[in-house]
Structures are given as structure tokens and as C-alpha cells.
RNA sequence: GGACAGGUGGCUGAGUGGUUGAAGGCACUCGACUCGAAAUCGAGCGUACCCUCUAAAGGUACCGUGGGUUCGACUCCCACCCUGUCCGCCA
């Protein structure tokens, strides 16, 4: 969420920066300003009335304690009370309207973010490794995986419908191995604290990390009172761990690594990437979350990307790093790098990680602050990145390490997690 | 699910209709004492918003949350949430 006061001070800056996103959100600034004007006018009026009431009420108390007659001021304050009630009502309406709009305005992008209108305009930062060479035509993962009995997509459809996966035998084992491997790597080598959080969260948490109110249709909702949401990413429960907190400076930086399944309705994407495991409604992911001071958030973003890249390097996979442009970047992100791994079977780059700096956008929504050395309360900066998302990593491994005889080689780092196996 | 107890500042803990933003204690900051430290003494020390020369001073709100009664609510009434203890049920 953006700071209304800053918008008030420099509306043109916000209009111009939001216009870069090409989403039409710059037009909302005018609405915010009108409501803000109305709000402050009534607020001042209301506070003056309350001040008068407080003062007079004390006088009434003094008169009564001396046994005097206070009927005149009492009657007068009754009228003032009615006015206050009316203004309170109006203020509540305006404030709700204003925050409804503010919650739907995306974040301002960092200066280094390329300006563009679509994924075409994303900037390729670097390409690491090379495309694997084959003496045969590389096959897609659904063929390899089904043939080796690692996945059963028909069974998944029977149980839950399209967009779900059943892993079997060594496939299930590989999935579990990857989760363990990723958590071990990040906790022992990159200094993350492992956390295991609920998979169902309340609406407040979704609003804190900015999935709500705008993206309700992307999520699975459980009809409770109040409703619960299936997490679309561990970012939600993990970042919200410190919602409504005032952290002491020595607590920062905080680094969490968490495994969760992720549930996504992916509305509107029907027909795209529907084969195999590329786009599914439920998938596993290990997520990395940082809570830091504003001074260090951009340096941290580079470190975070490095942690995600390390996985692909260690597993010997070919990948590239993109800096998302203003037209493609996510709602809450100020800056975002995507990691795409090469999948030779399907012949495509697949997004396996998205590493973002939200600056104070999420912290403001969840009121997450820390006390700095001067004793001032400052909103923290939050970041998160996948480290990594599993099905697509699974795809890349199957397709990259497929052999002519139909088997798959296991990269060295994963072997201890698969009972020492070199091949599936 | 049932019964009881309780939710007050960074922590602890008073406060049952009117100078209570909130006693006392702890912690913290500054100062005095000291060669230095401890102890002791003195002073200070919540958050958000509005206003504003992002000065000083002021104003408003906040004692789990949301309503209600009242000129006035931490204090009275209603609903809800959470925590603890005991009982029941259960992986």
C-alpha cells in the first residue's frame, strides 16, 4: 500500500510512475486525493467538536461535584454529540472508500526496472550454462515420467480434475528429495531459518501480502466464518509471521525458508501450458523470505537471487535471469527478477523462481515495523523468492538428464536423497 | 463441545462513571556520585493521525475487537475473538 501523505505531497510523481505500469492505475490517484480532502476536512471539524465536548464535560463534572446545576451545558453537549455521531459516520464511509482504492493501487517500481508493456520487454540480465545436446530428439517430461512410472496424470484427473499431479514410486521420492535438498541447502549454507506454517490463512494475511482484495478469483477459498484461503505461496503465511509487530533493530535481518504446497486457480489461463506439469492447481515450493531495513533491501535482493540461482547451478541446469519490466511485474513488487530454466523436451524457458523486493508495500499493509537506532519506528522492507518451485524443476531435471535408453541421470547433489541412486 | 478464570504501555501490575495517557515496579536514556563499575539519587521515556516552517506548542483517538447507555466510559450493558486451567471428544 502506498502512503497517502506522500501521494498528497507529490501526486505527479505517483501518477507518472504508475502510468509506467500501463494498467490505468494512475487514474486512481485523483480519486484518492478527492477523498483525502473530504476526509481531512471532516476530521478537523470533528476533532474540534470532540475537543469542545471533552472540555465541557469536565466542567460539568466540576459543577456537579459542587452540587450545582449543569442542565444547560449538558443539553448543549447532547447536540454536539449528535453532530459528532454524524461526522463519525461520514468519516467511516470515506475512510473505507479511500482504503478500498489504496489497497488496489500497485506498488511504484524502482528506477532500474525496465519500462515496457509486456513480457516481450523484460530485460535478460544473464544466461547461465548451455542448452543440453542430444543425439536423439529429446522427449517431453510427460512421456518420460509416465513411461518410468514417476507420474500418473490420468489418475490425478480422476481424483481431482485437470491441473493436478499424482507422483508415484521414485517420482514421489524425487519430489520429496527435492524438498529436503532445497531446505537443507538454504538452511545450512545460506543462513535461513526453516519454518513450517499453516496452509490455510485468513483474509487479513492475504491482504497483508497483497493477494487481496484484488486477486480473490485466483485463490481457493474455504467457506468458513471468517473464510480461509489456501495459500498460493508460502510468502503469505511466512511474511505474515510478523504482522502487527514492532521489531527491535537487532532482530533484523530475518531470513526464513519454508516448504508449502501452493494452490492456484489460475483463472483465465485455460488452454495455455496445459500439458504435463507445467501449469497446475497445486504444486510444491520452497520459498525464501527476508525482512530487512530499507537501507539494505536492494543489496538483499541480489543476494536472494543468488541463493535461488545456486540451486540451478548445483543441479547443472541451464537458466536465464530476467528483470521484469513495468508492464509485466507483479502488483506489489518494486523490482523483480524471474529465473527461467530451459526444458529441452518442451523446448521452452520455464519460470521456476520469482524474486521480488516489495520495499515497504507489504509492511505498510500488515503494519510491520522496527525501531531504528534513533528510536524511530520505520516500516520494514520485505522480499521473497522461490527457491525453487518444484514441478518445473522436476520437468527440467527429467528433460535435461534423459538418456537415449529412456532413463534419467540423477545430478550429484540429489543422490544422497535418493538412496545413492545415480539413475532412474 | 462444556465449565471457570483472565485480556491494561517493551515487560510486570494498580485502577469499578468525571484533572487516568493511565499509580507503583522493572527495563531503557540522560545527569549526579565514583579512579571505574555496582548500588544510590535526580530527570526523562507509548503509538497513530490532524495541524504545522517534516520547529515549538496544540488537538483527536487508542486500556482484546465491535456495538450500546451517558454531557462524559479503562470503569456500566450486549455480542464476538483470544489466552489459561479443568472436563469431554479425537489424529
Residue A92 neighbours by CB distance under 10 Å: 10
Q: How far apart are CA A4 and CA A25, in angstroms?
A: 15
Task: State the residue for C-alpha cell 534513533.
Answer: A374
For the segment 232-251 of chain A, residues whose CB is within 7 A of strand B? 246
Distance CA A367 to C1' B65 in A: 17
**C-alpha grid cell for residue A126?**
544473464
Backbone angles phi, psi at A6, to 5 degrees: -70, -35
Q: Is the CB of A6 under 7 A from strand B?
A: no
Q: Where are the domains of chain A?
A: 4-102, 119-418
What pLDDT is stored for residue A156 in this prediction? 93
Backbone angles phi, psi at A125, to 5 degrees: -80, -45
What pLDDT is stored for residue A269 in this prediction? 58
Q: How far apart are CA A86 and CA A82, in angstroms?
A: 6
**C-alpha grid cell for residue A344?**
529441452
**Helix, coil or strand: residue A348:** strand
For the segment 54-93 of chain A, residues whose CB is within 7 A of strand B? 54-58, 60-61, 64-65, 70, 74, 77-78, 81, 92
CATH architecture of A4-102: Orthogonal Bundle (1.10)
Residue A213, preceding bond cis, omega within 30 degrees? yes
What pLDDT is stored for residue A66 in this prediction? 81
CB contact set of A115 (below 8 Å; sequence gap of 6+): A20, A121, A325, A326, A327
Q: How far apart are CA A327 and CA A114, in angstroms?
A: 9
Q: Which nucleotide is nearest to A58 (CA to C1')?
A: B18
**C-alpha grid cell for residue A322?**
530476467
What pLDDT is stored for residue A271 in this prediction? 58
Q: Which nucleotide is nearest to A371 (CA to C1')?
A: B10
Q: Are A256 and A238 in contact (CB under 8 A)?
A: yes
CATH class of A119-418: alpha beta
Helix, strand, coil % over all residues of chain A, rounded to 5: 45, 20, 35
Q: Which helix (H) or strand (E) holds A28?
A: helix A28-65
For the segment 374-393 of chain A, residues whose CB is within 7 A of strand B? 375, 377
Domains A4-102 and A119-418 share a fold: no
What pLDDT is stored for residue A313 in this prediction? 97
Q: How far apart are CA A109 and CA A20, in angstroms?
A: 9
Instruction: Give the ipTM.
Output: 0.85
For the segment 254-283 of chain A, residues whose CB is within 7 A of strand B? none
Q: What is the pLDDT along chain A (424 residues), one digit of tens a residue?
A: 999 999 999 999 999 999 999 999 999 999 999 999 999 999 999 999 999 999 899 889 888 888 888 888 899 999 999 999 999 989 989 998 998 999 999 999 999 999 999 999 999 999 999 999 999 999 999 999 999 999 999 999 999 988 899 999 999 999 999 999 999 999 999 999 999 988 988 888 899 999 988 998 899 988 777 788 899 999 999 999 888 888 888 788 999 999 999 999 876 555 566 788 988 999 999 999 999 999 899 999 999 999 999 999 999 999 999 999 999 999 999 999 999 999 999 999 999 999 999 999 999 998 888 887 777 788 899 999 999 999 999 999 999 999 999 999 999 999 999 999 999 9
Q: Which nucleotide is nearest to A49 (CA to C1')?
A: B60
Q: Which residues of A are catalytic?
A: 264, 279, 351, 354, 392
What pLDDT is stored for residue A224 in this prediction? 74
**C-alpha grid cell for residue A125?**
540480465
Rg value, chain A, Cα: 27
Distance CA A54 to C1' B21 in A: 15
Q: Is the CB of A202 under 7 A from strand B?
A: no
Distance CA A374 to C1' B31 in A: 20
Q: Regarding beta strands A369-371 and A348-357, do their DSSP bridges make them parallel or antiparallel, or are they unpaired?
A: unpaired
Q: How far apart are CA A42 and CA A39, in angstroms?
A: 5
Calculate the CA dihedral of residues A203, A208, A210, A214 and round it to 10 degrees: 40
What pLDDT is stored for residue A136 in this prediction? 94
Q: Are A380 and A292 in contact (CB under 8 A)?
A: yes
Amino acid at each position: 500500500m502506498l502512503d497517502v501523505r506522500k501521494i498528497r505531497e507529490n501526486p505527479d510523481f505517483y501518477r507518472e510512475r504508475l502510468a509506467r505500469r500501463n494498467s490505468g492505475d494512475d487514474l486512481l490517484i485523483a480519486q484518492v486525493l478527492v477523498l483525502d480532502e473530504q476526509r481531512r476536512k471532516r476530521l478537523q471539524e470533528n476533532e474540534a467538536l470532540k475537543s469542545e465536548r471533552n472540555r465541557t464535560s469536565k466542567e460539568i463534572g466540576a459543577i456537579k461535584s459542587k452540587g450545582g446545576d449543569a442542565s444547560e451545558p449538558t443539553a448543549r453537549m447532547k447536540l454536539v454529540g449528535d453532530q459528532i455521531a454524524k461526522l463519525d459516520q461520514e468519516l467511516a464511509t470515506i475512510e473505507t472508500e479511500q482504503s478500498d482504492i489504496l489497497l488496489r493501487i500497485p506498488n511504484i517500481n524502482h528506477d532500474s526496472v525496465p519500462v515496457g508493456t509486456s513480457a516481450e520487454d523484460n530485460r535478460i540480465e544473464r544466461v547461465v550454462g548451455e542448452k543440453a545436446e542430444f543425439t536423439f530428439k529429446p522427449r517431453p517430461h510427460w512421456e518420460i515420467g509416465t513411461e518410468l512410472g514417476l507420474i500418473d496424470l490420468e489418475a490425478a484427473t480422476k481424483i481431482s480434475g485437470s491441473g493436478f499431479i499424482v507422483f508415484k514410486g521414485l517420482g514421489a521420492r524425487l519430489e520429496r528429495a527435492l524438498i529436503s535438498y532445497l531446505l537443507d541447502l538454504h538452511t545450512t549454507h545460506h543462513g535461513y531459518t526453516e519454518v513450517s506454517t499453516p496452509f490455510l490463512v485468513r483474509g487479513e494475511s492475504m491482504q497483508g501480502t497483497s493477494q487481496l482484495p484484488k486477486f480473490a478469483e485466483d485463490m481457493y477459498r474455504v467457506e468458513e466464518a471468517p473464510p480461509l484461503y489456501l495459500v498460493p505461496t508460502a510468502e503469505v503465511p511466512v511474511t505474515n509471521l510478523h504482522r502487527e509487530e514492532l521489531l527491535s533493530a537487532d532482530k533484523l535481518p530475518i531470513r526464513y525458508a519454508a516448504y508449502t504446497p501452493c494452490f492456484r486457480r489460475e483463472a483465465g489461463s485455460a488452454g495455455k501450458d496445459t500439458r504435463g506439469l507445467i501449469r497446475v492447481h497445486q504444486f510444491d515450493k520452497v520459498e525464501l523470505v527476508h525482512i530487512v531495513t530499507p537501507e539494505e533491501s536492494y543489496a538483499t535482493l541480489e543476494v536472494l537471487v543468488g541463493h535461488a540461482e545456486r540451486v540451478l547451478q548445483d543441479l547443472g541446469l541451464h537458466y536465464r535471469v530476467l528483470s521484469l519490466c513495468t508492464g509485466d511485474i507483479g502488483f506489489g513488487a518494486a523490482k523483480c527478477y524471474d529465473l527461467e530454466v530451459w526444458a529441452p523436451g518442451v523446448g521452452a524457458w520455464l519460470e521456476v523462481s520469482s524474486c521480488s523486493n516489495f520495499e515497504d508495500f507489504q509492511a505498510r499493509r500488515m503494519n510491520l515495523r522496527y525501531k531504528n537506532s534513533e528510536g524511530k519506528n520505520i516500516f520494514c522492507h520485505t522480499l521473497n523468492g522461490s527457491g525453487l518451485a518444484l514441478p518445473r524443476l522436476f520437468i527440467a531435471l527429467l528433460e535435461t538428464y534423459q538418456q537415449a535408453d529412456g532413463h534419467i541421470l540423477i545430478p550429484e547433489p540429489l543422490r544422497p536423497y535418493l538412496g545413492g541412486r545415480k539413475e532412474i
